[in-house]
């Protein structure tokens, strides 16, 4: 269903909308369009950025006085340090996709699509759904919201601007996902078994109660949701100026693959078509989950990545009902995990080179960078300095969990020295990490594939969100951070 959608040609788009409407013709949108056009032309694959980062850190470590042998040793030692976390994060994406593409989810989408009474209201609904779902699973948010936008686009009487709806569907990834349950940094810090020792020795274990469930974090997420929905609704073109999916030549047909007649009679596939195995596996899975949640505090239980992933996989299996449908969804989801699988080992190697390759005077590169952070900031300004730094770095290394592995050794060491609340330092990273997603084409790809659009179709709207979010996020990080006091690291 997702891969068969037809992507309109440039000529069909030009014919459909010879003059851009007021929203996309403004200065802000033109800047966004130019940035995205440049990024699509000049940005290499995210793997290239990760490889460049490895080389840069290795050279910097040697300039810091570490021997080539020590750098190579730390590279190899760190390469597989994230293997558990790599698999866990790949399953976050798979579980989210499987749940979002199930038949019950499709029925829910159709019901939600019947609610809005105008195009602008429809865009606001998409934005709201996207951000709420992102608090639970970014994969569910990305795919479900895109399918929701397609369903709304079939209601031709709404005259909904399809590009604005696509941008609204992306707001979960661009505004709130890192403040929710699938936050890579928060999950990593709460799971000592997945956290490299080089970081664990600096930060200790930081439970969800000190990161995503801080009242300050929840307030920030709520404010971002309200502002984002308002901007999405306000910036969406009116019905008279809207460019619909039909105008863009997007094929909105629901093309779920039908079961071939010959397949129905193959005895060997009986188990694939029967819900029997689904029910048995789900009974075991949900039975274990029930014991886990009864034996522990819900906050502690859900913070376990294995528990979190099992919950979504079992839910996805149950919603798909038959193993064949579940397996087909998993197959379609796997390509989206390629970047995680191949890049995360490089991030683990970078973290090891930062913290293990000692240079002059036994000082590591991580120590040097941490001292720079301490010298240019204080307890009061740390959130703004770190937030701005993380946002800029996020343009070039588009990976929530992977980039945290790079940043954590020195920014968390600086947080300790400045006595900044460590859980809030994680949330500073999380909030700032989402900002570059708004205009970085890397994270848009799964959504654009479902919508049959290109990045330049939606980035005019997301760029406007970026201009609003950046000062707001930095202010909230500074203002709310002032209400927290430093707590020493808790070692497992």
Task: Assess if residue 242 is contained within a domain.
Answer: yes
Q: Residue 18: what pLDDT?
A: 39
Task: Assess if residue 355 is contained within a domain.
Answer: yes
Q: What is the domain extent for residue 158? A: 60-249+270-482
Q: Residue 434: what pLDDT?
A: 87
Cα 86 to Cα 316, 339, 340: the distances in Å are: 20, 10, 6
Task: Assess if residue 77 is contained within a domain.
Answer: yes
- Which has the higher per-residue pLDDT, 138 or 27? 138
Task: Assess if residue 205 is contained within a domain.
Answer: yes
Per residue in 184-222, pLDDT (tens digit) is 888 888 888 778 887 888 999 999 999 999 999 999 999
Task: Assess if residue 183 is contained within a domain.
Answer: yes
Q: Residue 411: what pLDDT?
A: 86
What three-state secondary structure class fits 102? coil
Task: Assess if residue 1 is contained within a domain.
Answer: no
- Report the number of distinct structural domains present in the chain: 1
Task: Assess if residue 44 is contained within a domain.
Answer: no
* Residues 86-98 as b or e (16 or more Cβ within 10 Å = b): bbbbbbbbbbbbb
Per the CB < 8 A criterion, the answer to whether 168 and 127 are in contact is yes
Per residue in 409-422, pLDDT (tens digit) is 888 988 999 999 99
Q: Residue 44: what pLDDT?
A: 65
- Which has the higher per-residue pLDDT, 282 or 90? 282
Cα 171 to Cα 69, 224, 439: the distances in Å are: 45, 10, 11
Alpha carbon distance 161, 243 (integer Å)? 5
Percentage of residues of the chain with pLDDT beyond 70: 84
Alpha carbon distance 142, 447 (integer Å)? 6
Per residue in 283-305, pLDDT (tens digit) is 999 999 999 888 877 777 777 77
> Cβ–Cβ contacts within 10 Å for residue 116, how many?
18
The encoded tokens of residue 242 equal: 């809207």
Bridge partners (DSSP) listed for residue 364? 358
* Residues 375-405 as b or e (16 or more Cβ within 10 Å = b): eebebeebbbbbbbbbbebbbebbbbbbbbb
What three-state secondary structure class fits 364? strand
Alpha carbon distance 229, 215 (integer Å)? 21
Average pLDDT over residues 35-62: 76
Task: Assess if residue 254 is contained within a domain.
Answer: no
Confidence of residue 8 (pLDDT cuts 50, 70, 90): very low
Q: Is the pLDDT of residue 25 over 50?
A: no
Across 125-139, 210-224, 316-330, 361-375, least confident range: 361-375
Alpha carbon distance 127, 159 (integer Å)? 17
End-to-end C-alpha distance for the chain, whole angstroms: 46
Average pLDDT over residues 392-415: 77
What three-state secondary structure class fits 204? strand
E strands, 67-133, where?
none
156 Cβ contact partners less than 8 Å away, ≥ 6 residues apart:
244, 246
């Amino acid at each position: 269903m997702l891969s068969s959608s037809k992507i309109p040609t440039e000529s069909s788009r030009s014919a459909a909308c010879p003059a851009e409407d007021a929203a996309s013709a403004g200065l802000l949108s033109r800047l966004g369009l130019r940035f995205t056009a440049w990024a699509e032309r000049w940005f290499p694959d995210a793997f290239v950025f990760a490889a460049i980062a490895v080389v840069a850190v290795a050279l910097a470590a040697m300039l810091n006085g570490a021997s080539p042998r020590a750098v190579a040793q730390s590279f190899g030692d760190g390469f597989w340090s994230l293997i558990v976390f790599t698999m866990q994060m790949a399953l976050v994406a798979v579980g989210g996709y499987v749940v979002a593409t199930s038949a019950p989810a499709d029925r829910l989408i159709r019901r939600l699509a019947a609610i809005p009474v105008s195009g602008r209201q429809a865009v606001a609904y998409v934005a709201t759904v996207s951000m709420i779902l992102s608090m639970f699973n970014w994969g569910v948010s990305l795919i479900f919201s895109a399918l929701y936008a397609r369903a709304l686009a079939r209601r031709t009487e709404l005259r909904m601007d399809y590009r604005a709806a696509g941008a609204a569907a992306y707001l979960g990834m661009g505004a709130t996902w890192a403040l929710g349950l699938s936050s890579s940094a928060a999950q990593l810090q709460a799971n000592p078994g997945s956290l490299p020792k080089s970081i664990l020795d600096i930060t200790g274990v930081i439970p969800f109660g000190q990161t995503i469930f801080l009242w300050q974090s929840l307030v920030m997420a709520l404010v971002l949701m309200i502002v984002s929905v308002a901007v999405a609704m306000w910036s969406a073109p009116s019905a008279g100026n809207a460019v619909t999916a039909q105008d863009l030549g997007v094929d909105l047909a629901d093309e779920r693959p039908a079961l071939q007649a010959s397949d129905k009679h193959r005895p060997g596939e009986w188990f694939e078509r029967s819900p029997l195995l689904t029910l048995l596996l789900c009974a075991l899975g949900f039975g274990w989950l029930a014991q886990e949640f009864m034996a522990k505090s819900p906050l502690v239980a859900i913070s376990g990545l294995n528990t979190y992933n099992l919950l979504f996989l079992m839910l996805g299996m149950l919603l798909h009902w038959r193993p064949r449908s579940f397996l087909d969804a998993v197959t379609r989801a796997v390509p989206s995990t390629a970047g995680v699988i191949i890049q995360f080992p490089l991030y683990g190697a970078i973290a090891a080179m930062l913290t293990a390759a000692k240079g002059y005077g036994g000082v590591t590169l991580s120590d040097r960078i941490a001292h720079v952070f301490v010298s240019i900031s204080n307890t009061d300004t740390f959130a703004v300095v770190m937030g701005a730094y993380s946002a800029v770095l996020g343009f070039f290394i588009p990976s929530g969990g992977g980039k945290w592995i790079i940043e954590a050794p020195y920014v968390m060491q600086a947080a300790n020295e400045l006595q900044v609340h460590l859980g809030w330092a994680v949330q500073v990273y999380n909030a700032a990490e989402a900002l570059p997603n708004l205009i970085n084409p890397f994270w848009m790809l799964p959504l654009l594939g479902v919508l049959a659009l290109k990045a330049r179709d939606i980035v005019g709207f997301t760029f406007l969100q970026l201009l609003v979010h950046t000062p707001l996020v930095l202010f909230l990080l500074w203002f709310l951070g002032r209400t927290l006091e430093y707590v020493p690291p808790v070692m497992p």
